[in-house]
Structure 1
Amino acid sequence: MHSMKELNVEVLVVGGGTAGVSAALAAAEAGVTVCLAEFGSGVGGVGTHTGVHVYYLGTHTDMQRKLDREVQEIAGNLGGKVKGFHPEAKKIRLEERLAQNGVTILYDHVAVQVILEGKRVTGVVFESPYEVLRVEAKVVLDCTGNGDICALAGAPFASGREWDGVMHAYSLPPRYLKEEAEIADFLNFDVGWVDSSSARDVSRALLEARKVLWDLPELGDDRLIAVGSQLGVREGRRIVGQYVLTLEDLALDRRFEDVVMRCYTHYDNHALDLANESRFAQIWEGVIGAWKDRIGCDVPYRSFVPVETDGLLIACRALSMDHDTATSFRMQPDMHCVGEVAGTAAALCVQSGRLPRDLEVPALQRRLINRGVLKKDDLVRQSAPWLTLDDDKRAQRNWTLETVRRPEVQRRLIEALGTEQEGPAIWWLWKSGENVIPLLKETLAKSEGKQQRGAAMALALLGDRAGSSCLVRAVEEEAMDAPPGFERFIPPRWIACLILLKELREASCLEVMLDRLQRRNPTARLAAFSQILHVLHYLIAVSEQIPTDTLAKVKQAVNQLLAEPELGEDWQVNMELDTSIRWNIEMTAAYLLALLGEDNGYVILDGYMTDERAYARNMAHRLKARLRQRVVPQDERTEVQH
């Protein structure tokens, strides 16, 4: 056993990844003493160790831009060409910058205990192969990615989706030499699912991903030269802060008085099982067709502050936000920015003698403006929602929560129904509120075809059943048209209508859905497994309305589905390589059977309780708990929030 050593600093940054390095630099540049503790043997995180060495969306700050220029200069001396930034050059420059600013770096140090004084975090105990180290600090920053320090401190958190607890898909990018260009590139493919808070599941996922690499058809004749040393984890714990950021906030470009940064992204959820996602996600992607549309908003300081803990700031992708937002607000530039905000805030806490939850936000905002994280205009600007019609510019603010209540604007929205602009039109009709319902009903009565269907969809979002028969007809006729966009993530209109019928608890499609459970015609927009899950979730939603004389038929159809030998085998790792989502389909079907009084449903769930895959066990536990409590979760309620 090693005797415990001690170290005292003003700011302790735990995690030297994308956000952690920025946090340490920002705090040190403000003049406080900083220790950066990292469980691995290098800094930079996903960009240097996972191998995702390009930027995709996100907000860039002055510090990031300067660092990128310096990395590019070093890369020129290393030889060869690399897509994006050179990961080794970035490691070199990050370590140089940390050293120049007097940051103490601790590699191979794993956080094992949080030091608490009541609810206040005052330090962290680390173990390494060489020592046990107690680091005390005035402010601790959780830059672990998964919110490990917050969890150790007892802060409440959420994980994964509401339905099954599943987190965003992970990757393990191979780096290869492109034969024709002699340039180092990488392939950021999705392997499958992982519970990133479980060391054993991460180990399993690493082994699984490395096996898949050899079969990737995309690599062709290109030469594999390296594989990321750590998983490309896109989601972990989400710590509950004083404000939980939502995807709707991003879509509406929400303003917050305590803004400390702005994020910029799109709904970059790689999940192909849309039926398992939240109500809002199904509407945004499946009904509005806005998967690829750019979004972003103010990020409030409150999202950095855990609700029940002090002396600690959330400073990574474990920021206080819902699952939908976590799939999107995770890009490297945004995480650089998150770290810079937290480091600046920590230094101000030290220098002002305040705890994080008592920090004067205006003083922090002034510092962030000086650093180029915020602009002065960010403190007084008006929201400019992202979805517009007729090529209107966002800055014109023709499309806001206020303007869409005007009669002339609502008529303009009605005219767009049934056109390529139907998605944004339905969105704004939904956001118009109940005062647009009479106009929608008038349109429903006087129009036909796609415009009539669009009016029915908007009415359903507002909780009105007047257009139900129109939606049912679209499902029965299997309407295959769809809004423009990335085909894999924009389902056909009959699925959009089914999503809305599910919201209304409209059971008229019961017989049709039993047929669709068995009869599938996969397309680029709708894989067989995806159709199955949409049907199962619809049946779950209307389960209490199934006539007694139809129950046996429903149970038989579900059991026949479960007997299919290749059920769920068409879930794709990438564009060509298939794997299986059978586990999820089986448990979703089991939940339905249990609701219908079938003991077999519980048997299936029990079988997954000891599965080697943590994400499968998590789903089984979640569904069994829901069955025990008989509590209808948020994403299964009839009301649609607007």
Structure 2
Amino acid sequence: MRLQQKVQGNAAAAEIGIAAFSEAYDVIVVGLGTAGAVAAICAAENGLSVLALETGECMGGTGTSAGVLGYYYGAPSGRYEDVDKLVYSSDGEIFAQANRIYPDHILPDKKAMVLERQALAAGVTIRYDAWTFGVYMEDKQVVGLLWKDGGGIHRTGAKYVIDCTGEADICSMAGCETVRGRTFDGKTQPYSLCTMTLKDGNVHSYYADNGFINCNDGRQYSDQMLETYTQGMFLKERFDPEDYYSVICPQAGVREGRRITGEEEIAFGDFLQDRVTDRPLFYTHCNIDTHGIEHAFEDKRYIEWCIVAKLKFMNFSVPVPAGALIPKGYRGILAAGRCLAADRQISPGVRVKRDMQKCGEAAAALAYLSIRDGVEAKAVDYGTLAAMLRKTKCLDEDNNRLTYRVDEKASGEKINRQVEWLTEPAEIQEQMKGPIPGLGIWSAKRLGSRIISDLKGWLASGDEEVRFNSAFALGLLGDAAAIPVLREIISAPLDFQRETPVNGINNVLGAIYLLGELGDGESVPHLIGITRLDGRNNEYWQHFLFSMTALIKIGRSCRETGVREAVAEALQWVMDHKKDIHMTLNAKENIVSDLTGQVRTFIKANW
């Protein structure tokens, strides 16, 4: 037997012979947050003995101690809805009432209490302020944990460990392969820290994107938290009565951390080509809910979907297979929550609370059947597993749908309209000037060569929207016929006096990106001109970053005389003169992010 630990962030392993476990459980759930709380309850309700370890002081994680009261999309149904019904049923009796402007808001203290009562009733052994610092291994199988709480150090055996830490901490400690952040610099999405106030008898929560954090670096985490608490939203010059806080939430709302490499991977590229599992445990439903600010540094599939096709608010369903919860090559351990095996591009669309609660339920069912039938998790009979999850509607095929958030002109409200990909050219052309032009653009991309002749004909359309969106579709298909219209789009006067929201998108950014992909040497002078403008807000820096990355692509691919030299000179000018590149995470709170170092790193890595 081997004991594996992390010491000062580094892996350490020692052969120990046979471990003397002081106790043993069928399942140990580590992390009682969004996924872990439901995993512990469901595993115990399935008849397993369950030990649940939580570093904090309550169950629920993001929805309780982090103060995120409501739900952002996600597919309904599953065991968690029974918990929520209990919370709603007595909201306002013992506790104050959650903000009823948003009907799905749940009071965090009440949900933590209901989760704990449900877990104890099911027979879960709960330990708070419990820290895991060792994993017992037999070859590639996890057989127990070394952990401590107020009662001392414990050596506990287990048939399964379900890692619900959000950061794949236990998987990483066991030696499982993990990845973190985006490819070129490992940067993750920003985190948020919530405050809650009591106003008019209702509990209100407020949060902003507060910065970037690495939960695996203790010093950096501590420094960032201290800096966050001194930001204007927490430390005001003057507090009005309605500003008084009932609580500053003790847990940060972290959107992205480590992710496992699983027996099966959920990849955005596969989803876009309809290569998805036909053996789902549950469906997720959300848009690409990324809070990042420097979109030009993201993967091309993200840029093409969100920026070029303007589909950031397209909600889509992802079927999650069992293999996405099983660390590749390992036994006796599962991962549930945002650390499941999903690539960085699609993970913002699968990590929301509703869906991660279902992930916990699915992990519990998978562990139960593996133990009951005496087989590895990846060998569990899918028909039996699916039938079990259908009973609670954790697995519900009705959740497999495509929707888009649009403004309802009659009511002024935003609604989610169910949509389908289009296959007829006339429908696509009409949609390109409709409320969801991206539906037409991406439908054209899906048709490929079958619609290219139609798109080329529409470039001469008298309708500007049809002409521009046809050029975007052609550009996505790699057809150079789009270039003249794309040049026209970027030649429009730029107004950097207005401030586009961080997630704001416009035609110019998409056109710049496609000109870079198409290697258009003639656009180089104009792109260089954009990089040399004197701008200071997000609107300018988005154009700067897209122009810079497009120049790099053109310089590397274009064979026209003098193009590479012009690009090299332009990039050197950026290195010499652009020394104060800042983007605002939250304009109201004046929370900024310094991108100067990342720009320099990107140029050196790609040029």
TM-score range, shorter chain: 0.7 to 0.9
Secondary structure of the corresponding residue to residue 535 of structure 1: helix
Residue in 1 that maps onto 2:599: 588
Distance of 1:122 and 1:384 partners within structure 2: 40
Cα deviation digits, residues 9-28 of structure 1 (max 9, x gap): 11111111111110011111
Counterpart of 1:214 (choices 231, 234, 242) is 234
The CA distance in 2 between the partners of 1:86 and 1:551, in whole Å, is: 55
Residues 435, 387 of structure 1: CA spacing in aligned structure 2 closer, same or farther, 3 A cutoff?
A: farther
Partner of 1:413: 428
1:32 matched residue in structure 2: 48
- Give the match for residue 81 of structure 1: 97
Query: Are the structure 2 counterparts of residues 60 and 218 from structure 1 closer, same or farther at C-alpha, using a change threshold of 3 Å?
Result: farther
Separation in structure 2 between the aligned mates of residue 80 and residue 555 of structure 1, nearest angstrom = 57
Amino acid of the structure 2 residue aligned with 1:438: S
Q: Please state whether the residue corresponding to 1:451 is helix, strand or coil.
A: helix
Deviation at 1:40, TM superposition (A): 2.0
- Provide the identity percentage: 26
Question: Pick from 479, 496, 513: which aligns with 1:464?
Answer: 479
AA matched with 1:204: D
Distance (Å, rounded) in 1 between the aligned partners of 2:202 and 2:531: 47
Q: Distance in 1 between matches of 2:275 and 2:417?
A: 13
Q: Of 559, 573, 581, which residue of structure 2 is paired with 1:568? A: 581
Three-state SS of the structure 2 residue aligned to 1:497 is helix
Note the 1:502-517 alignment, pairs <5 A.
Answer: 502-517=516-531
- Cα distance, 1:556 vs structure 2: 5.2
More strand by share: 2
**Aligned with 2:426: secondary structure?**
helix
Structure 1 stretches of 5 or more lacking a match? 595-622, 628-642
Could you say which residue in structure 1 is the equivalent of 2:504? 490
Q: Which residue of 2 aligns with 1:294?
A: 315
In the alignment, is residue 199 of structure 1 matched against residue 218 of structure 2? yes
Say whether 1:428 aligns with 2:443: yes
1:543 to 545, 551, 555: 555
Structure 2: distance between partners of 1:59 and 1:419? 27
- Counterpart of 2:9 in structure 1 is none
Please show how residues 335-346 of structure 1 align to structure 2 within 5 Å: 335-346=356-367
C-alpha spacing 1:424/1:431, structure 2 compared with 1 (3 Å): same
Q: Return the alpha-carbon distance in structure 2 between the equivalents of residues 234 and 30 of structure 1.
A: 30
| Alpha-carbon distance in 2 for matches of 1:321, 1:233 | 16
Counterpart code for 2:37: V
Partner of 2:26: 10
Q: Partner of 1:455 in structure 2? A: 470
Structure 1 pair 218–434 and aligned structure 2 pair: CA distance change class (3 A): farther
Equivalent pair of 2:284/2:317 in contact (CA under 8 Å)? yes
Post-superposition offset of 1:437: 1.8
Please give the alpha-carbon distance, in whole angstroms, between the structure 1 residues aligned to 2:490 and 2:98: 49
Match of 2:340 in 1: 319
Q: What code does the residue aligned with 2:208 have?
A: F
Q: Distance in 1 between matches of 2:45 and 2:426?
A: 54
| Counterpart contact for 1:502–1:542, Cα < 8 Å | yes
Which residue of 564, 578, 581 corresponds with 2:590? 578
| CA shift in 2, pair 1:333/1:591, >3 Å | closer
Quick one: distance in 1 between partners of 2:510 and 2:469? 11
Q: Cα distance 1:303–1:215, how it changes in 2: closer, same or farther (>3 A)?
A: same
Change (3 A) 1:287 1:522: farther
Q: TM-score, normalised by structure 2?
A: 0.86
Number of the residue aligned with 1:61 = 77
1:41-190 aligned within 5 A? 41-83=57-99, 84-178=105-199, 181-190=200-209
SS at match of 1:10: strand
**Which TM-score applies when normalising by structure 1?**
0.82
Contact 1:250–1:296 (CA<8 Å) still a contact in 2?
Answer: no
Contact kept in structure 1, 2:27 and 2:160, CA below 8 Å: yes
The CA deviation string for residues 219-270 of structure 1, in whole angstroms up to 9 with x for no partner, is 8642112111111111111111122223466678876321111111122111
Higher helix share: 1
Q: Structure 1's 201 and 140: CA in aligned 2 closer, same or farther, altered over 3 A?
A: same
Where 2:586 maps in the other structure, the secondary structure is coil
Q: 2:329 aligns with which of 303, 308, 327?
A: 308
Alignment partners' CA distance in 2, 1:436 and 1:208: 53
Residue by residue over 1:461-511, the C-alpha shift from the partner in whole angstroms, topping out at 9 and shown as x without a partner, is: 111112212212211224789xxxx95423221111011112222232221
Instruction: Name the structure 2 match of 1:442.
Output: 457
Structure 1 partner of 2:368:
347
Query: After superposition, what is the alpha-carbon deviation per residue over 1:369-404, rounded to whole angstroms, capped at 9, x for unaligned?
Result: 1233124x56xx9x6544699x9x987x8x44xx62
Instruction: Number of aligned residue pairs: give it.
Output: 569
Output one character per residue of 1:575-625: Cα deviation in whole Å (capped at 9) or x when no partner: 42223333x233323542x4xxxxxxxxxxxxxxxxxxxxxxxxxxxx4xx
| CA distance in 2: counterparts of 1:243 and 1:130, whole angstroms | 39
After the TM superposition, which of the residue ranges 273-282 and 535-544 deviates more from structure 2? 535-544
Q: 1:549 to 1:259 in 2, by over 3 A?
A: closer
Indicate the SS of the match to 1:489. Answer: coil
Counterpart residue number, 1:610 = none
| Residues in 2 aligned to 1:138 and 1:91: alpha-carbon distance in whole angstroms | 27
Indicate which of 490, 501, 514 corresponds to 1:475. Answer: 490
Output the CA distance in 2 between the equivalents of 1:548 and 1:443. 33
Per the alignment, residue 302 of structure 2 pairs with: 281
Aligned to 1:630: none
> Structure 1's 373 and 411: CA in aligned 2 closer, same or farther, altered over 3 A?
same
Which amino acid is 1:442 matched to? G
Flag the 1:467–1:55 CA change in 2: closer, same or farther, 3 A. Answer: closer
Report the 3-state secondary structure (helix = DSSP H, G, I; strand = E; otherwise coil) of the residue aligned with 2:259.
strand
2:76 is paired with a residue whose SS is coil
Q: CA distance change for structure 1 residues 560 and 312 in 2, over 3 Å: closer, same or farther?
A: same
Pair 1:253–1:68, CA change in 2 (3 A): farther
Alignment match, 1:367: 388
Change (3 A) 1:551 1:425: closer
Instruction: Report how far residue 29 of structure 1 moved.
Output: 0.7
Aligned residue identity for 1:96:
R
Cα deviation, residue 201, structure 1: 2.2
Q: For residues 50 and 325 of structure 1, what CA distance do their matches in structure 2 show?
A: 23
**DSSP-derived class of the 1:294 partner:** strand
477 and 86 in structure 1: CA distance in 2 versus 1, 3 angstrom threshold? closer
Distance 1:505 1:479 in 2: 22
CA, structure 1 residues 227+394, in 2 after alignment: closer, same or farther (shift >3 Å)? closer
- Residue aligned with 2:327, SS: coil
Q: Which runs of 5+ in 2 are unaligned?
A: 1-18, 100-104, 409-415
Equivalents in 2 of 1:412, 1:552: separation in Å? 44
